[in-house]
Amino acid sequence: MVKLTARAWALKQRAAELWDFRDRWAARRAWLRWYERAIRSRLEPVKKAARLVTERLNGILNAAITGMTNAKVEGINSAVQWVKATTCQCQNHLLDQARSYIMTGTYHGANPLEVGPYSTAPGHWP
């Protein structure tokens, strides 16, 4: 019994260390090595957890590498929803994008203040 508990504890400790990787491919290799050890452990609850990890490995890798948690994502989503609610259903999507950028600090694509024929960037006056 002690041997089984020690084996389960060792696998748990190895899994906890896997969250420190920042390189996607190194993390993937490490998780798959952990999976192999867990499947060979002859501990049914650990084997069940290992199968679940492999089913959701891409999401786990994304969370480990980016450091994004559900709480952070929900916080960003809440800020974006607030910005959308306070724009009074404006048709000016550029303004909406700028407000989202200011509130959350994240914007994927070009800087919203430097897009379009009437850019506010220096040297881009109409």
Map the chain to HEC letters.
Answer: CHHHHHHHHHHHHHHHHHHHCCCHHHHHHHHHHHHHHHHCCCCHHHHHHHHHHHHCHHHHHHHHHHCCCHHHHHHHHHHHHHHHHHCCCCCCHHHHHHHHHHHHCCCCCCCHHHCCCCCCCCCCCC
Looking at the structure, tell me whether residues 10 and 52 fall in a common domain: yes
78 belongs to a structural domain: yes
pLDDT tens column, 71-112: 888 888 888 787 777 766 656 666 667 776 776 666 555 554
The reported pLDDT for the residue numbered 104 is: 67
Q: What radius of gyration, in Å, describes the C-alpha atoms of the chain?
A: 23
Least confident of 5-9, 20-24, 34-38, 101-105: 101-105
125 belongs to a structural domain: no
pLDDT tier for residue 51 given thresholds of 50, 70 and 90: very high
Residue range(s) defining the domain that contains residue 82: 70-114
Looking at the structure, tell me whether residues 16 and 62 fall in a common domain: yes
Looking at the structure, tell me whether residues 42 and 95 fall in a common domain: no
Number of domains the chain is built from: 2
94 belongs to a structural domain: yes
Looking at the structure, tell me whether residues 62 and 21 fall in a common domain: yes
Locate 122 and state its tokens: 């220096």
